[in-house]
Amino acid sequence: MTASSHRTLTFVNWRLQPNRDDDAAPTTYSFRCLTLNDDDTECAEKSALSTDPTEPQLWVFAHLRTHPDHLSYAEVIERPWVMRTEGPA
Ligand SMILES: [Zn+2]
């Protein structure tokens, strides 16, 4: 008796796209302070994540009140994406 194996290979095209499914993770926004400390390390304090893009902006004003020389920030946006097949290649 001989051993045999059989494989079927299917090539598919993939597409990367924003995930807008109901169960997809929400898009979140935050801000991070980019100001460099005296030792050239980044302050790196950051706001809480929010699904409201304007809410983290309020954190920037609060951070500036306690750190008047921290003027440089980055907005960090996390948007879910998903890979989907488009059928055979
Ligand atoms: Zn800072």
Per-residue pLDDT tens digits for 36-87: 999 999 999 999 999 999 999 999 999 999 999 999 999 999 999 999 998 7
Tell me, what's the pLDDT at 71?
Answer: 97
3-state secondary structure of 87: strand
- The Å distance, Cα 25 to ligand 1 centre, comes to 28
CA of 61 to the centre of ligand 1 (A): 11
- Using a 10 angstrom Cβ sphere, with 0-12 exposed, 13-18 middle and 19 or more buried, the burial of residue 28 is middle
Ligand 1: distance of its center to the CA of 46 in Å?
Answer: 8
* Nearest-angstrom CA–CA distance, 11 and 1: 32
- Span from the CA of 53 to the centroid of ligand 1 (angstroms): 19
Put simply, whether the predicted model's pTM sits higher than 0.85 gets the answer no
In the chain, where the domains are located: 24-84
Note whether 48 and 87 are within 8 A (CB).
Answer: no
Give kind and range of the element (H or E) at residue 5.
Answer: none
